[in-house]
């Protein structure tokens, strides 16, 4: 009986052993095809004009194939030609294969990315599609178009800090540092730096007390247009802070700076094809004693490119792609485009922000 039981057990287990040793088929791979730009066709030339800024551009995508049915969302992305989408600019999305982009909005984004007004430049476009299933997005290949932007007539407002908590104290024309305007949102201004115990406000014109900006409650801002000077922002503990102002939403933030604020450079300068020293020699900037991270210079430049660098060497340098204002990244290979003219240039080595104010 024991022998028989063993034989029955072997007869039961043997098929399982043989099955476990048999080859296992790999799961089937579902072929997938991303969307690509079908219209405008590759190589098309688009010339934007200010007269048409309210018009709409239409970008048509091919239908993707995720291998399974579902509902798609088409996101249109662009990048400066030849950059391999190192910086992706979102243009909009749609649940249909057509994404619409306003001419004026497209123009602002192109200028922000460094394309010169009235000059044709290559721009890469692609579609990233998603599906309402647990599948990864599909990113299509790039389609290159020739796009000519126009010179945006938007008036860029400059804002300056004043007060005994800031470098110029209560002097409205004392080399007052500017707030750094965001390159995309023209209504957003950022100032990162050292504040002493005291108060500060914001001015629109050097040498004048009006217009003036100040605090309105815990998050709001107010100006002096109503005939009354707004309240000042107060600093109760000296230190490094990040201050932001949004003129469109009439809001502000004032929070402690959380990064490393103890890195200082003996010298900082501008360098590039537009500067007097070309790419070989830096043009020195001047440091504000009140805040060792704030640097400025007044320079006459030619149309070209510039960067910021420290200690007259390439070991520490900052670059970006946006003209007039922006946030330069440490070690970036990008160059800042600039048009010929005389500028008061400001650079903040604490957060990399810069602004050029034409004189």
48-82 pLDDT, tens digit each: 999 999 999 999 999 999 999 999 999 999 999 99
Residue 266 CA to residue 284 CA, distance in Å, equals: 11
pLDDT, residue 128, reads 96
pLDDT, residue 239, reads 97
- Using the predicted structure, report yes or no on whether residue 5 has a pLDDT greater than 70: no
Using alpha carbons, select from 182, 187, 159 the residue that is nearest to residue 326: 182
**Burial per residue of 180-209, b for 16 or more beta-carbon CB atoms within 10 angstroms, e otherwise:** bbbbeebebbbbbbbbbebbbbbbeebeee
Residue 319 CA to residue 340 CA, distance in Å, equals: 19
pLDDT band of 322, cuts 50, 70, 90:
very high
Q: What is the mean pLDDT of the chain?
A: 91
Residue 298 CA to residue 285 CA, distance in Å, equals: 8
Residue 46 CA to residue 44 CA, distance in Å, equals: 7
* Residue percentage of the chain with pLDDT more than 90: 81
pLDDT, residue 10, reads 45
Give the DSSP letter of residue 322: -
Give the DSSP letter of residue 218: T
Task: Read off the pLDDT of each residue in 200-219 and give the average, rounded to a whole number.
Answer: 95
Question: Given CA atoms 9, 15, 16, 21 in this order, what sign does their dihedral have?
Answer: positive
Query: What kind of fold does domain 268-358 have according to CATH?
Result: Immunoglobulin-like (2.60.40)
Give the DSSP letter of residue 23: P
What is the CATH class of 160-256? mainly beta
Task: Read off the pLDDT of each residue in 237-250 and give the average, rounded to a whole number.
Answer: 96
Residue 15 CA to residue 7 CA, distance in Å, equals: 13
Q: In whole angstroms, how far apart are CA 106 and each of 56, 122, 123?
A: 10, 14, 11
- Using the predicted structure, report yes or no on whether residue 6 has a pLDDT greater than 70: no
Lowest-pLDDT range, 28-32, 128-132, 135-139, 143-147?
28-32
CA-based R_g, the chain, Å: 29
Q: In whole angstroms, how far apart are CA 63 and each of 10, 69, 70, 143, 310?
A: 57, 12, 12, 16, 50
Convert the pLDDT of each residue in 256-266 to its tens digit.
999 999 999 99
- Using the predicted structure, report yes or no on whether residue 250 has a pLDDT greater than 90: yes
Token couple for 22: 């048999």
Residue 346 CA to residue 293 CA, distance in Å, equals: 10
pLDDT, residue 127, reads 98
User: Between 155 and 191, whose confidence is greater?
Assistant: 191
pLDDT band of 7, cuts 50, 70, 90:
very low
Q: In whole angstroms, how far apart are CA 252 and each of 204, 265, 346?
A: 16, 30, 22
Residue 241 CA to residue 235 CA, distance in Å, equals: 10
Instruction: Map residue 156 onto helix, strand or coil.
Output: coil
Q: Is-above-0.85 flag for pTM?
A: no
CATH of domain 37-148: 2.60.40.10
Lowest-pLDDT range, 200-214, 219-233, 303-317, 328-342?
219-233
- Reduced DSSP (H G I as helix, E B as strand, rest coil) percent helix, strand, coil of the chain, to 5: 10, 45, 50
pLDDT band of 27, cuts 50, 70, 90:
low
User: Between 208 and 184, whose confidence is greater?
Assistant: 208
pLDDT band of 8, cuts 50, 70, 90:
very low
- Using the predicted structure, report yes or no on whether residue 33 has a pLDDT greater than 60: yes
Using alpha carbons, select from 124, 155, 173, 110 the residue that is nearest to residue 323: 110
User: Between 42 and 6, whose confidence is greater?
Assistant: 42
DSSP lists the bridge partners of residue 102 as 56
- Using the predicted structure, report yes or no on whether residue 1 has a pLDDT greater than 80: no
Centre a 10 Å sphere on the Cβ of residue 230 and count the other Cβ atoms it contains.
Answer: 19
Contact by Cβ (8 Å): 340, 301: yes
pLDDT band of 3, cuts 50, 70, 90:
very low
Domains 160-256 and 268-358 share a fold: yes
| Domain-wise residue ranges, the chain | 37-148, 160-256, 268-358
């Amino acid at each position: 009986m024991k022998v028989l039981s063993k034989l029955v057990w072997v007869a039961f287990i043997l098929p399982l052993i043989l099955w476990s040793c048999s080859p296992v088929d790999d799961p089937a791979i579902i072929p997938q095809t991303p969307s690509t730009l079908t219209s405008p066709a590759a190589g098309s030339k688009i010339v934007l004009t200010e007269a048409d800024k309210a018009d709409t551009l239409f970008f048509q995508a091919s239908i993707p194939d995720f291998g399974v049915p579902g509902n798609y969302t088409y996101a249109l992305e662009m990048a400066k030609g030849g950059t391999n989408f190192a910086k992706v600019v979102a243009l909009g999305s749609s649940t249909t294969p057509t994404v619409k982009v306003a001419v004026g909005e497209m123009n602002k984004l192109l200028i922000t990315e460094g394309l010169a007004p009235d000059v044709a430049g290559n721009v890469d476009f692609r579609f990233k599609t998603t599906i309402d299933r647990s599948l990864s997005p599909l990113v299509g290949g790039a389609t290159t178009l020739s796009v000519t932007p126009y010179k945006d007539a938007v008036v860029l407002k400059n804002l300056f800090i004043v007060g005994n908590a800031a470098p110029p104290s209560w002097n409205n024309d004392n080399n007052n540092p500017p707030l750094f305007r965001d390159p995309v949102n023209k209504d957003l201004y950022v100032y990162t730096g050292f504040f002493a115990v005291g108060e500060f406000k914001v001015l629109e014109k050097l040498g004048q007390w009006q217009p003036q900006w100040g605090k309105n409650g815990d998050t709001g801002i107010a100006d002096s247009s109503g005939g009354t000077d707004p309240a000042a922002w107060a600093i109760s503990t000296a230190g490094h802070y990040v201050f932001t102002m949004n003129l469109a939403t009439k809001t502000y933030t004032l929070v402690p700076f959380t990064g490393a604020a103890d890195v200082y450079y003996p010298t900082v300068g501008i360098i590039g094809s537009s500067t007097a020293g070309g790419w070989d020699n830096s043009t020195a900037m001047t440091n504000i004693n009140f805040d060792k991270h704030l640097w400025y210079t007044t320079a006459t430049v030619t149309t070209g490119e510039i960067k910021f660098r420290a200690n007259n060497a390439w070991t520490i340098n900052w670059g970006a792609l946006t003209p007039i204002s922006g946030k330069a990244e440490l070690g970036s290979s990008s160059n800042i485009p600039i048009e010929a003219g005389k500028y008061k240039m400001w650079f903040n080595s604490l957060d990399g922000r810069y602004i050029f104010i034409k004189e």
